[in-house]
């Protein structure tokens, strides 16, 4: 609630003297300047904590503009370098559908250009042109096979990342929104079990710890009696 307001009546608000008031400007010394003191005879001022500041080289507006342009050019070159590295990474290690579409499009452009060069080459006869086109076809086939291998590798990596994201989303603690718009993390029995299963899944990938993890997995799945867990226990016993 607001503080009670006191209404004040200004009787002279609309008076002629108020509307025709003449303003005047006056200057006065503030308390800060009034309280300063310089050293003179009979007065000693402590200078042990004083800091001496020396003037630097004069910095004109032209120099400031040149410095801003140089900084902007540096940031632009840095951004272009990062973008160039990302483009190279996309072509060396493609991961998404757009990356592979870019590779197929560039391969098609390269094939068309090379075909035009061979057909427009007047120094080659028909037999040499056919041989050059056959070599171009072999090279294109080899590049397509390379792209297919990259696609298989990317599919495996993406599958593992999706599995890890799925396991992490299940094992992460629940977040409850409080009245002060902050979150409280709460671990439930389900998230704790999911965290344990995620650790088991990741541990099975490491061979030195495989036997220990298999034993731990066997003890964990025995707590849940069903057809799937019985099959898992049987497979662990075989190994």
pLDDT band per the 50, 70, 90 thresholds, residue 226: confident
* Most confident region among 75-84, 111-120, 208-217 by mean pLDDT: 75-84
Mean pLDDT of the chain: 82
Q: Helix crossing, 227-238 with 210-221: angle to 10°?
A: 150
Give every CB contact of residue 183 below 8 A, 6+ residues apart in sequence: 175, 176, 177
Q: Is the Cα dihedral 110, 116, 117, 118 positive or negative?
A: positive
Question: What is the tens place of the pLDDT at every residue in 125-143?
Answer: 888 888 988 998 999 999 9
pLDDT band per the 50, 70, 90 thresholds, residue 31: low
Torsion, Cα of 92, 151, 111, 138 (10° steps)? 110
pLDDT band per the 50, 70, 90 thresholds, residue 13: low
**pLDDT higher than 80, residue 78:** yes
Which pLDDT belongs to residue 209? 63
Q: How far is CA 21 from CA 14, 26, 60, 119, 217, in A?
A: 12, 16, 46, 95, 93
Which pLDDT belongs to residue 74? 95
Lowest mean pLDDT among 64-68, 85-89, 121-125: 121-125
Q: What is the DSSP string of 96-135?
A: SHHHHHHHHHHHHHHHHHHHHHHHH-TTS-HHHHHHHHHH
Percentage of the residues of the chain whose pLDDT score is greater than 70: 83
Calculate mean pLDDT across residues 109-123: 88
* CA distance linking residue 189 with residue 225, whole number of Å: 18
Question: What is the tens place of the pLDDT at every residue in 33-55?
Answer: 555 677 888 888 888 888 888 88
Question: What is the tens place of the pLDDT at every residue in 155-169?
Answer: 988 888 888 888 888
- The backbone torsions φ and ψ at residue 183, rounded to the nearest 5 degrees and listed phi first, read -110, 145
pTM: 0.53
Q: What is the DSSP letter of 207?
A: S
The number of beta carbons lying within 10 Å of the beta carbon of residue 65 is 10
């Amino acid at each position: 609630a607001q503080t009670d307001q006191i209404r004040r009546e200004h009787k002279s608000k609309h008076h002629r003297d108020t509307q025709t008031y003449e303003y005047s400007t006056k200057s006065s010394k503030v308390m800060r300047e009034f309280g300063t003191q310089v050293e003179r005879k009979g007065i000693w001022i402590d200078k042990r904590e004083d800091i001496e500041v020396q003037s630097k080289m004069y910095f004109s507006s032209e120099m400031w503009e040149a410095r801003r342009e140089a900084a902007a050019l540096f940031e632009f070159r840095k951004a272009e370098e990062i973008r160039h590295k990302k483009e190279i990474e996309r072509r060396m290690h493609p991961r998404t559908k757009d990356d592979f579409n870019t590779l197929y499009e560039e391969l098609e452009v390269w094939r068309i250009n090379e075909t035009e060069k061979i057909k427009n080459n007047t120094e080659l006869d028909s037999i040499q042109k056919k041989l050059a086109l056959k070599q171009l076809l072999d090279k294109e086939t080899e590049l397509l096979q390379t792209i297919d291998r990259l696609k298989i590798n990317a599919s495996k990596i993406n599958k593992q990342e999706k599995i890890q994201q799925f396991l992490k989303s299940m094992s992460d603690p629940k977040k409850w929104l409080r009245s002060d718009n902050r979150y409280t993390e709460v671990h439930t029995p389900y998230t704790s079990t999911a965290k344990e299963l995620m650790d088991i899944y990741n541990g099975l990938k490491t061979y030195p710890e495989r036997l220990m993890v298999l034993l731990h997995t066997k003890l964990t799945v025995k707590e849940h009696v069903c057809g799937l867990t019985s099959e898992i226990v049987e497979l662990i016993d075989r190994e």
